[in-house]
């Protein structure tokens, strides 16, 4: 029952509700003892409840400290239950309730932390001090409110002309609501027209686990191919809206940033990642390929990397071959970075992007970067039509590599099909090396390859298996 409850407070109240269930009884015993013990330790080991909560979150990786957990469970209700069961009651919680307060913390949008805490010495709320730069989307929301929102995303005013697009769907999966919201926010005259720059980030445990494949599978199973085509086009339009926005967009990814989450990151004008970043174009795991501009961006980055090593090099070169092989391996093997530094090696994060070490400072750093881009005289990008396609010779080499993997029984027949599609899209099709193509041409290749893989029975089996188990099927 509790696994299906998203809200942490509601989940906890369910877990400790009076019941004959062993887990309920165990958790109630543990938490009621913890709360009494914690309340008795102020001011013995800490001057305030804040330090105890912070120590448990930072030192033991708790999502909420003891006093935050107590607020979520309901202080008055739990104390009443503890009294009924003849459990010891801490003098400090009696002091809290006697002062007419019902919670250890109270919201206060005017403070930097967004809240006040109950100070036991004064028996009143005091502002919680935080170091400069420590900030969150939640606090910004309390202070400035939400400009616009739908089921999957919100636009929040960060002040100084910067808007924040926040995802808040389950696991921050990118569905139609988020896709349309980004487009509506970034288009000229859209809902974000009053802002000078944008940040895309959120306060969740993970930035985004990628596109909502459940909706895709339903459309595929109903053979609604027009709907599938439209969904892919809309996703591509969303990433293009980010890249060609008339105002600077900084994406601040963290935690799991998979599939579509990485594609959103790739299309930003700058990135401000947290050091702990698990980024990857993992669509191959469900029998697909990156269809939202991921392949296009990896191709452009590989060509740029090769040209940087040998500026006059165009079309075929040893440098381009090596760069394309690396890009192919990253996509075809669904490689996921273990940090933001490794994400730079993979090309998901640009060499000039800064990395934030402290998770609590990511939003401040991203806002600062967005304002820098704006004040430096940001100019919108123009869609390229002069991309030299790697072409048929590099495609042949990649296909040979796939064949050798198959011959060695490292990959299945279906994985040969997926890898071949990936190679074709990355190389810009079977064209003469150096043929100039446009970004739209590469997007069209992506979309057609994605759609054709959707029609494969084994791909559908992979999607179903992943949705059911959370694991990858090697069929």
pTM for this model (two decimals): 0.91
Q: Residue 447: which of 291, 227, 220, 260 has the closest Cα?
A: 291
Which position has the token pair 């209700």? Answer: 77
Per-residue model confidence (pLDDT) at position 73: 94
- Using DSSP's 3-state secondary structure scheme, residue 401 falls into helix
Q: Is the pLDDT of residue 313 over 70?
A: no
User: Rounded to 5 degrees, what angle do the CA atoms 268, 133, 47 make?
Assistant: 145
CB burial of residue 73 (10 Å; 0-12, 13-18, 19+): buried
Mean pLDDT of 13-37: 93
Mean pLDDT of 451-474: 94
Query: What pLDDT score does 311 carry?
Result: 54
CA distance 350 to 301: 9
CB 467 within 8 A of CB 213: yes
Helices 225-243 + 213-221 axis angle, to 10: 150
User: pLDDT for 173-220, tens place per residue?
Assistant: 999 999 999 999 999 999 999 999 999 999 999 999 999 999 899 999
Mean pLDDT on 289-315: 83
- Give the whole-number percent of the chain exceeding pLDDT 90: 90
Chain segment 347-366, per-residue pLDDT in tens: 999 999 999 999 999 999 99
What is the pLDDT of the chain when averaged over all its residues?
Answer: 94
- For position 7, what pLDDT does the model report? 81
pLDDT tops 90 at residue 122: yes
* pLDDT of 268 above 90: yes
Decide which of 346 and 317 is more confident: 346
Question: For the residues 156-184, what does the mean pLDDT come to?
Answer: 95
Cis status of the peptide bond prior to 351, with omega within 30 of 0: no
Structure confidence at residue 315 (pLDDT):
46
Band of residue 8 on the pLDDT scale cut at 50, 70, 90 = confident
Calpha distance 355→277 (Å, rounded)? 10
What is d(CA 250, CA 209) in angstroms, rounded to the nearest whole number? Answer: 19
Q: Among residues 414, 423, 424, 421, which one has the least CA distance to residue 457?
A: 414
Report the pLDDT averaged over residues 56-79. Answer: 94
The average pLDDT across 112-121 equals: 94
Q: Name which of 157-166, 249-258, 438-447, 464-473 the model is least confident about.
A: 464-473
**CA–CA separation, 30 and 42 (whole Å):** 19
Query: What percentage of the chain has pLDDT greater than the value 70?
Result: 98
Q: What is the pLDDT of residues 396-449, one digit of tens each?
A: 999 999 999 999 999 999 999 999 999 999 999 999 999 999 999 999 999 999
Q: Report, as an integer, the average pLDDT of 319-343.
A: 97
Given a cut of 80, is residue 464 above it in pLDDT?
yes
pLDDT at 191: 92
Closest CA to 27 of 73, 59, 71: 73
For residue 256, list its beta bridge partners: 278
């Amino acid at each position: 029952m509790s696994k299906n409850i998203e809200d942490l407070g509601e989940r906890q109240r369910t877990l400790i509700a009076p019941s004959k269930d062993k887990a309920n009884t165990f958790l109630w015993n543990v938490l009621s003892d913890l709360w009494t013990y914690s309340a008795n330790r102020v001011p013995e080991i800490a001057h305030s409840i804040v330090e105890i909560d912070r120590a448990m979150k930072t030192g033991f990786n708790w999502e909420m400290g003891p006093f935050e957990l107590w607020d979520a469970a309901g202080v008055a209700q739990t104390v009443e239950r503890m009294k009924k069961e003849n459990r010891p009651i801490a003098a400090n919680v009696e002091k809290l309730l006697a002062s007419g307060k019902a919670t250890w913390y109270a919201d206060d949008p005017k403070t930097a932390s967004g809240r006040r805490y109950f100070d036991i010495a004064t028996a009143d709320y005091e502002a919680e001090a935080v170091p400069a730069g420590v900030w969150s989307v939640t606090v910004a929301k309390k202070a400035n409110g939400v400009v616009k929102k739908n089921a999957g995303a919100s636009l929040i005013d960060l002040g100084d002309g910067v808007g924040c697009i926040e995802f808040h769907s389950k696991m921050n999966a990118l569905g139609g609501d988020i896709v349309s919201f980004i487009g509506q926010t970034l288009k000229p005259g859209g809902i974000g027209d009053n802002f000078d720059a944008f940040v895309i980030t959120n306060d969740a445990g993970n930035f985004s686990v990628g596109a909502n494949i459940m909706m895709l599978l339903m459309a595929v199973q109903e053979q609604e191919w027009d709907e599938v085509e439209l969904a892919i086009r809309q996703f591509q339009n969303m990433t293009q809206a980010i890249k060609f926005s008339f105002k600077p967009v900084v994406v601040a990814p963290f935690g799991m940033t998979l599939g579509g989450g990485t594609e959103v990151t790739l299309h930003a004008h700058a990135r401000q990642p947290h050091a702990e970043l698990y980024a990857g174009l993992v669509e191959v795991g469900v029998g697909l390929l990156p269809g939202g501009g991921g392949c296009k961006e990896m191709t452009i980055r590989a060509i740029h990397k090769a040209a940087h090593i040998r500026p006059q090099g165009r079309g075929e070169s040893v440098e381009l071959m090596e760069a394309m092989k690396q890009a192919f391996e990253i996509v075809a093997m669904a490689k996921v970075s273990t940090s933001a530094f490794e994400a730079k090696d993979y090309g998901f994060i640009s060499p000039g992007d800064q990395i934030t070490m402290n998770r609590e400072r990511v939003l401040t750093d991203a806002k600062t970067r967005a304002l820098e881009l704006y004040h430096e005289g940001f100019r919108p990008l123009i869609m390229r039509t002069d991309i030299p396609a790697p072409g048929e010779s590099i495609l042949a080499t990649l296909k040979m590599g796939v064949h050798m993997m198959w011959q060695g029984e490292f990959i299945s027949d279906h994985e040969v099909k997926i890898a071949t599609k990936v190679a074709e899209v990355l190389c810009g099709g079977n064209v003469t090396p150096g043929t100039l193509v446009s970004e739209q041409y590469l997007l069209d290749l992506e979309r057609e390859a994605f759609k054709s893989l959707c029609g494969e029975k084994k791909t559908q089996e992979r999607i179903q298996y992943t949705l059911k188990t959370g694991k990858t099927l090697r069929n």
